[in-house]
A and B are shown apart, each in its own frame.
Chain A
Amino acid sequence: MNFAVLQFPASNCDQDALHVVRNVLGHSARLLWHKENSLAGFDAVIIPGGFSYGDYLRTGAIARFSPIMQAVQTFAAQGGPVLGICNGFQILCEAGLLPGALIRNRSLQFRCEHIFLKTASRDSPFTSQIPEGKLLRLPIAHGEGCYFADDANLEKLQAGRQILWQYVNAAGEATDPSNPNGSLRNIAGLCNQARNVAGLMPHPERASEDILGCADGRLIFESLISWLQTKASKAA
């Protein structure tokens, strides 16, 4: 499979995402500068973390208007899978590809720590290979990760099973102390209605090898690869 990893001024997790796809999972991946305007030949897009455009105005607000994001809009509309991590999630919300917004953490602090994630729906290209009931141990590193959507949209997300991941404690309960940023309903990640665009605040690309202390993040990338392979074999 061939992955595009987008690169904006001040992206800083692009190399990690590239490394995981190429060296850990053995698939091809290429960095795409934000001024490029075509995604021809790519099977999936990763929008990595960082501080695109210095987080000026709002996180992700300026990146969403870059040329490559217009290509992402088309790619997503055609059913291509797009995964936004941290700042990538913020960009997808600003772009309207995912509902809601990410605002300043409730604590006003930049939170950099490991959290537990529960997979709330395994019915998506990004979660299918995560074993039922398994909690993922992943790092977070953000100042603006508090998920907000109005009540009507939250109900829609819940009813459509679009909430993919929630912050939980070690027992798997979505409690208030286990919520690192004040996200409504402990939402850490979600997908669109068509289920081909997803975003999450935690960093699976920083936890995909045992040498890093935890390899749970791999399951998210492996889910995506498995979904792409199934799609390719159906098309053949």
Chain B
Amino acid sequence: MKAKIIVTPKKAVLDPQGKTIANALEQMGYKGIGAVHVGKYLEIELPAGNRESWRQQLDEACRRILSNPVIEDYHLEIQS
């Protein structure tokens, strides 16, 4: 089993990396794209077993350390 976590900057937060990448894509000829948001991807390996308990524990970890709720949103998924 493993957890997949995607952390992205909140929409209200300035994302200069995303903006720079969007500009680069435009210049390369990829016209018409919208905003680019740069985040982080974490993969956590888990022993087989209680899926719901892991989901709860990792949801807490996402709020406490893996993301900063002031500036970031997260998406957590547990996969078999």
CB distance from A106 to the nearest CB of B (A): 5
Report Cα–Cα, A104/B9, bound state, in Å. Answer: 11
Which A residues touch B17, using CB under 8 A?
A: 104, 108
Are B14's CB and A146's CB within 8 A? yes
A108 and B65 contact, Cβ closer than 8 Å, known pairs A103-B71, A148-B70, A148-B71: no
A149 touching B70, Cβ below 8 Å: yes
Contact B14 A103 (CB under 8 A): yes
Q: CB-CB < 8 A to B12: which residues of A?
A: 150
A58 interface contact, C-beta 8 A: yes
On whether the beta carbons of A107 and B65 are closer than 8 Å, the reply is no
Cβ of B70 and Cβ of A105 under 8 Å apart? no
User: When the two chains form their complex, are residues A58 and B68 in contact, meaning their CB atoms are under 8 A apart?
Assistant: yes
Within the complex, the shortest CB–CB distance from A168 to chain B, in Å, comes to 21
Taking residues whose C-beta sits less than 8 angstroms from the other chain, chain B's interface range is: 10 to 19
Cα distance, A108 to B17, chains bound together (Å): 7
Which of B13, B20, B65, B66 sits near A103, CB closer than 8 Å? B13
Tally of A interface residues using CB under 8 Å: 20
- Bound-state Cα–Cα, A57 to B16, Å: 18
| Bound: A103/B13 CA distance, A | 9
- List CB contacts (< 8 Å) of B6-52 with chain A: 9, 12-14, 16-17, 20
A191 to chain B, nearest CB (A): 17
Contact string, B52-76, partner A, CB cutoff 8 A, digits 1/0? Answer: 0000000000000110101100000
| Contact of B68 (CB < 8 Å), options: A65, A101, A107, A108 | A101
Q: Is the CB of A104 within 8 A of B16?
A: yes
Please, how many angstroms separate the alpha-carbon atoms of A140 and B7 in the complex? 29
Docked pose: A105 CA to B16 CA in angstroms:
8
Is there contact, CB below 8 Å, between A106 and B70?
Answer: no
- Do the beta carbons of B16 and A106 come within 8 Å of each other? yes
The interface residues of chain B lying within 8 Å CB-to-CB of A228 are none
Contact A100–B70 (Cβ < 8 Å)? yes
Q: Is the CB of A182 within 8 A of B14?
A: yes
Which of B's residues lie within 8 Å of A, judged by CB? 9, 12-14, 16-17, 20, 65-66, 68, 70-71
Write 7 A-B pairs (CB below 8 A) sorted by A numbering.
A93-B70, A100-B70, A101-B70, A104-B17, A146-B14, A148-B71, A149-B70
Closest 4 CB pairs of A and B: A101-B70, A101-B71, A108-B16, A106-B16
